[in-house]
Amino acid sequence: MDRVDTRGALLDHATHLVRTRGYSAFSYADLAAAVGIRKASVHHHFSTKEELGVALVARYTERFVARLAEIDRVGAGPVDALERYAALYREGLLDGEACLCGVLAAETDAVPPAVAAGVAEFFRVNQAWLTEVIERGGLSVGAAGDRAATVLAVLEGAVLVARAQDDVAAFDRVAAAAIAMVQA
């Protein structure tokens, strides 16, 4: 496996471990075993866990933003866009994973400041996108911003509760209620 492939594989496995176990619950030894390299080789790609965490959040945010752009390209109306947005969270849930940044936000006291800053940016970008979508539905800027913050928090929380209860239908009900709240 070449350097680029190894780095990508490390990021893939680390993303899965954070989304299923949390940032504090995995080690470089876990990554080395998953990728089939020595632990020292992990350090060659990411000298610190903080460096790895920053790379994870940056890549996750970039990919999530690309998915938001796909929703925009479809030209979805506000309700359809919100349903597609909720489906992004649902996809991870079906794979047994929570939102990477949601997990890291829950571990704010355990993650390095640079990782926490990336997480905050992920949520800022998502809230801004949601605000724009909701504004297209006719709400004023202030009201749209408040609803966007609510939708974001509700979906993040719904993922955690659905995972704890092993019940995707619970997520679906809460997501539908959040979208209905925006329309009210």
Question: Model confidence over 79-91: pLDDT tens digits?
Answer: 999 999 999 999 9
pLDDT at 2 over 60: no
The structure tokens listed for 16 are 């899965």
- Closest C-alpha to 98, from 21, 24, 35: 21
Give the start-to-end residue ranges of the domains of the chain.
56-183
Q: What is the CATH number of domain 56-183?
A: 1.10.357.10
Mean pLDDT of 34-44: 93
170-178: long-range contacts (C-beta < 8 A, 24 or more apart)?
171/89, 171/90, 171/93, 172/90, 175/83, 175/86, 175/89, 175/90, 178/82, 178/86, 178/150, 178/151, 178/154
Mean pLDDT value of segment 25-44:
93
pLDDT in tens, 89-100: 999 999 999 999
Residue 4 has pLDDT above 60, yes or no: no
Cα angle: 45, vertex 18, 105; to 5 degrees: 110
Helix orientation angle between 113-136 and 49-74, rounded to the nearest 10 degrees: 10
- The residue assigned the tokens 């605000």 is 131
pLDDT beyond 90 at 13: yes
Asked if the model's pLDDT at residue 138 lies above 80, the reply is yes
Calculate the average pLDDT of the chain.
Answer: 94
pLDDT confidence of 113, banded at 50, 70, 90? very high
**What mean pLDDT is predicted for residues 29-58?**
95
**Looking at the whole model, is its pTM more than 0.75?**
yes
